[in-house]
Amino acid sequence: MSDLDLMIKFRKFLRNDSISLFYHGIFDDEFTDKFISLVAVDNKRRVQGRMAFVLAESFQNIIRHKDEEIDTNNSNSFGVRVSEQWMHIFSSNLVGSEVKEVLNTNLKNINAFDKDELKAAYLQILHKAQLSEKGGAGLGLIEMARKSNNPIQFEFLPETKDVFAFNMQVDFEKVETNEITEPIIPIHENSELNDLILKEDILFVYNGEFGDDVLQPIIPVLETNASVLGISGYSVFHIAVELMQNIGRHAVKNDHDQRSGLFIIKKSTNGYYICSGNYADVDAIKLKEQVKELNDKSIDELNALYKIALKESLSTNVNNAGVGLIDIRRTSGNPISLEYLESEKGTYIMLGVNITI
């Protein structure tokens, strides 16, 4: 599967989401608030307290329960999908057979409880202080079920003889209503998406609105992951920000007066591949020719062209997409990939570039 074909596949998966976020990288407690802020772009700029709690609990569970002995390749991942009526919080981490049996029993019991039984079980565990050194996973699961008012979806997918991928999903009604017209996304759909993320070694996926309030929480996450790359990490961070800003500046506004798009970072055989997609009011054929011309130029020619284009952009005080393309091409040192799709909604532009480490 080519890298831009991968973007087409994600567009299809996430086509009904107002916001989608999947992460498979360095897990740090400091990222919890960042991801809550990203999801808060939807739902009138805030996330209800119960949703924020489960989002934080799911993310931190991965940190607390990571088993270094059985997870040597970082198979942990985290995702949030938001639609018109639902928010789905997904997490995946590896567990051994003993932990699997405990989790399986606990979750089956929790899902069988009614509201009063959940409260009684919560108070009983709290009273007896039956908390493990890992932070009281049983208590956390009960609280997730109480706050979501829905059964917790879960499954254990075998990795090896005694190791399983523990996939869990908590589902929320965004707004209480008697007219639910959207079905809950089944966990196997997000497990399939997660398998694709792990298979393609994808670090980060974000689908939704792009603006300053989105860039601010994403940037620290990218900086932390880029820092482990050393000097080359600058290129990854710089181009990622440039592509995200390109969506925020040039994407066609949707029905909610927002500029939306899709952004993906994945590992490649020799570094990282960064790509973005959005609807744009441009001449796609002319843009593709422009990219081809840039791909044919040397780095010295690109540096000279960048200075000229930047000066013109500053003098006219207009956001010039050409400046960004030149910058991406010269910073990466690699050709830019560009494809486009025509539909009733308009022209969907997909840009991608490889960064050699």
For the chain, give every domain's residue range.
Answer: 3-356
- The Cβ-side half-sphere exposure at 24, using a 13 Å CA radius, reads 25
Between strands 163-173 and 86-96, the pairing is antiparallel
**pTM for the full predicted model:** 0.90
pLDDT tens digits for range 294-306: 999 999 999 999 9
Alpha carbon distance 173, 11 (integer Å): 23
pLDDT tens digits for range 273-300: 999 999 999 999 999 999 999 999 999 9
CA neighbor of 67 nearest in space, from 200, 197, 163, 136: 163
Residue-level pLDDT, tens digit, the chain, 357 residues: 567 888 899 999 999 999 999 999 888 888 888 888 888 765 554 556 888 888 888 888 888 777 777 877 778 999 999 988 899 999 999 999 998 999 999 999 999 999 999 999 888 887 775 544 444 447 889 999 999 989 999 999 998 889 999 999 999 887 666 677 788 999 999 999 999 999 999 999 999 989 877 888 888 888 888 777 666 678 888 999 999 999 988 899 887 788 999 999 998 888 899 999 999 999 999 999 999 999 999 999 999 999 998 888 777 655 556 899 999 999 999 999 999 999 888 999 999 999 988
